[in-house]
Structure 1
Amino acid sequence: MTNSASPGAGALAGIRVVELGQYISGPFAAKLLADLGADVVKVESPEGDPMRRWEGRATMSPQFAAYNRGKRGVVLDLKSAEGLAALFGLVDDADIVLDNFRPGVAERLGFGPDALHERNPRVITCSITGFGPTGPAAKRPAYDTVISATGGMYSQVVPASTIRPLGPAFSDLLSGMSAVQAVLAALHARDVNGVGEHVEVTMVGALLDFLTESASAFLETGQVSSPDSRPRRAQAYACRGSDDKAFVIHMSVPEKFWTGLLDVLERPDLADDPRFSTREARVRNYDELDVVVKEIAATRPRQYWLDRLAAHDIPHGPLNTMGDLFDDPQIASMGLVEEIEGPDGALRVPVPSIRFQRSGRPELRYAPALGADTEEITGLRTESESEPARAKEGAA
């Protein structure tokens, strides 16, 4: 597939970011900034970001590649005087410094926000932590499963009877997005007042921002939301056709979608059923209506229902897996996949979904090899890992 980027280097061309991140939240934030055109320099220890070995693939797991494309990479031992001096050299020319260390780690090693602002008063520093710098959990290790459980996310997506973590790294990804929002706002503030500032983003806080509807409902009314609370209020249903292919229907508030659905299902009698005759009744008797819709849907293949729903202009769609997604005609038409050059040849990757008509976006580049740009950027010779360690890793 040809490169679909419009002319231009991206809206953040000229902005330099130093990323001191590992795993997901910090690297994801920096990756989003790189997608917008920022020059991102990822700083790693000689052992590298642990995400590099997430699936045992030497130093380039697909997970690492996903969160680190478009960056340059350097290796620095930040516990050494030489490494710390090199970091300060990067900060002198930086606009943004991102980290996701535990609270107090950067300060202990000599490159906390105060030290960086002393070097460069215009730099914006952003720390992503699990719970922030204070409170009884502040210094605990904060991985996504812990935060998604503590922060209420699992209670909104995992049935109470299913006691296991599910889904993507919610709190990592949402806090990464919150960090991008924060540093872009801080860049604007710097344009106004001329100085940088420190920004704190918490994983648990990012979840609360995301769950604002459920949180506000509880604080106002005492109502505790569950995984089916919003589908019930939104009148959203999931069904399987006779071919076992799944799809969804979303009726929301307009009454026309309910009356249209009765035509689609060829069940006008349901309009007079007291359980379903008003929207309030359908919300109250959601489980009963769900059974009825599922039973009818199972009598015909999915495409039959999709065609009828489209003809009646009712919100609907196939329930795609990742294996289905990129073959969906709508998704395929949107140019959301592109070929880039990887270490073993061309490979397909998802592209940034935001389109800038004037600024464009940079050409996508694969994630950097460990220490790939150390000498060019810092003048230091790369000594990322010992030969025995590399040999052991290769054997694995």
Structure 2
Amino acid sequence: MNADKGMNDPARGADPARAAGPLAGIRVIELGQYISGPYAAKLLADLGADVVKVESPDGDPMRRWEGHGAMSPQFAAYNRGKRAVVLDLKSDEGLAALRDLAAEADVLIENFRPGVADRLGFGPDALHELNPRLVTCSITGFGPSGPYAARPAYDTVISAVGAMYSQVVPADTLRPLGPAFSDLLSGLSASQAILAALHARGERPAGEGEHVEVSMVGSLIDFLTEAAATYLETGQVAGPDSRPRRAQAYACVGSDGKAFVIHMSVPEKFWTGLLDVLERPDLAGDPRFATREARVRNYDELDAELKAITERMPRQHWLDRLVAHDIPHGPLNTVADLFDDPQVASMGLVEEIEGPDGATLCVPAPSTVFHASGRPALRAAPRLGEGNADVLARDAASVSAPPDDGADRDGAAAASVTAPEGTRA
């Protein structure tokens, strides 16, 4: 990324604790709630950006998700490394304070419904007039227009409309399924779009910013490129087992009840090696499995054969043999297994940080997504409004103060903006 003139100017107020990392000196204003906007901003914070999260007096609803008190683990996960300020965006003073922040910022992210930011006076046109260098990013459910654009859009809705569930849930057991696919993918897409816009800004003689639009449903369709392209070209409709068939991927269970996966892909050597692992050379002559095309057609039959064989010995027996024969494979870990996996443990993907109450927290490190030179030390998610005095260079009466006792509060943050419109996850 090309560095903009003045990007690292300490007078711009970047937190010295974040004075490292590829995005050091970049100020991001986040008007996000729940997951998509906060996740996009978190990714930028992990790269060293100074992220200021703007919340209503009630705070992001994720703060007390599922009845948690001071801070839910979900909020902590999506909001680490940020500073938090409280602004009442229903008041003229709060909007004026937001404009002051935007005037000195590099990026502003919001995930309101289309039209909300414009109606309140901080849409992209108004903000670019105020700060021509600003990169603005809107994350919407269905995009800025169309018959669904004004609808409330949460992950379950988008994952259904965007065909994600049809790819991961069998038709006879259809139900909403985690994780939050569209939230996370749109947040990732937004962070990429913002980085591209910052790069483009550095290439322009006057350093002008631009507005980028990311939709949750569009992010899903891009993620489902293979299934979408296959349908558009051939009319074939992919389902949950379509890619496993083509990839020749199988899940097996050992006699100890522990599961593992095998992925043979295209090279014939993996099939012949697997027959050696299983000590079943006779399967090579079975016409149902004699060629890769036959194995694709008869996937269910081969799946049953493999399960019948592998259930006779414990998983580790099979893992050892698969390693010896260089067959692509791996244990099917749960989240509880994940961080005890020897490979994961060797990669340093967990870091300890100090939590808001002084306790030590273990968190997934940014290297789970990327490695960056000069990556800054991690910081815990902020308490509600704890950055007001540090960030806001305005009279205290112009903003909504955080609770006197310092405790987090929760509620429908959309109500501090406009109750009828709300925001999405």
| TM-score normalised per structure 2 | 0.88
Report if aligned partners of 2:185, 2:216 keep a CA contact under 8 Å in 1.
yes
The secondary structure found in structure 1 opposite 2:171 is coil
* Structure 1 residue 380: Cα displacement: 4.8
Report the Cα offset of residue 386 of structure 1.
8.3
Contact 1:374 1:380 in 2 (8 A): no
Q: Which residue of 2 aligns with 1:123?
A: 134
Letter in 1 for 2:27: R
Structure 1 residue aligned with 2:381 = 367
Q: What does residue 371 of structure 2 align with? A: 355
Structure 1: give runs of 5+ residues left out of the alignment: 1-6
The answer for the alignment partner of 2:38 in structure 1 is: 27
1:320 aligns with 333
- Taking structure 1 as reference, are residues 334 and 57 closer, same or farther at Cα in structure 2, changes over 3 Å only? same
Q: CA separation in 2, counterparts of 1:151 and 1:101?
A: 19
- For 1:86-135, what per-residue CA distance to the aligned partner results, in whole angstroms no more than 9, with x for missing partners? 11111111111000000000111111111100100010000000001111
Deviation per CA, 1:218-241: give whole Å up to 9, x if none. 000000000000000000000100
Is the 1:45–1:384 Cα contact (8 Å) retained in structure 2? no
Aligned positions, number: 384
Structure 1 residue 390: Cα displacement: 7.3
Tell whether 2:112 aligns with 1:94: no
CA distance in 1, matches of 2:410, 2:101: 32
Query: Contact conserved, 1:47 with 1:385, CA < 8 A, in 2?
Result: no
Q: How does 1:163-202 map to 2 (within 5 A)?
A: 163-193=174-204, 194-202=207-215
C-alpha offsets along residues 122-172 of structure 1, whole Å, 9 cap, x if unaligned? 100000000011111000000000000000000000111112101210000
CA distance in 2, matches of 1:377, 1:85: 14
Q: Mapping of 1:4-153 within 5 angstroms?
A: 9-153=20-164
SS of the residue corresponding to residue 160 of structure 2 reads helix
* Cα shift at 1:383: 1.9
Name the stretch that deviates more: 85-94 or 249-258.
Answer: 85-94
Q: 1:154 aligns with which of 165, 179, 191?
A: 165
Are residues 386 and 342 of structure 1, via their aligned partners in 2, closer, same or farther at CA, if it must alter by over 3 Å?
Answer: closer
Return the alpha-carbon distance in structure 2 between the equivalents of residues 210 and 385 of structure 1: 42
1:385 is displaced (CA, Å) by: 4.9
| Match in the other structure for 1:285 | 298
Would the aligned equivalents of 2:170 and 2:240 in 1 still touch at CA under 8 Å?
Answer: yes
Tell me how large the CA RMSD over aligned residues is. Answer: 1.7
**Could you tell which deviates more after superposition, 94-103 or 371-380?**
371-380
Return the letter of the residue paired with 2:304: V
1:3 corresponding residue in structure 2: none
Q: Report percent identity of matched pairs.
A: 76
Is residue 309 from structure 1 mapped to residue 322 from structure 2 by the alignment? yes
* Number of the residue aligned with 1:226: 239
Q: 2:19·2:25 contact (CA, 8 Å) conserved in 1?
A: no
**Aligned amino acid, residue 366 of structure 1:** A
Q: Any conservation in 1 of the 2:70–2:408 contact (CA below 8 Å)?
A: no
Change (3 A) 1:170 1:106: same
CA distance in 1, matches of 2:384, 2:153: 25
Q: Deviation at 1:57?
A: 1.6
Say which SS state the counterpart of residue 90 (structure 2) adopts: coil
Distance 2:374 2:326 in 1: 34
Amino acid at match of 1:78: L
The alpha-carbon distance between structure 1 residues 146 and 349, as it changes in their structure 2 partners (threshold 3 A), is: same
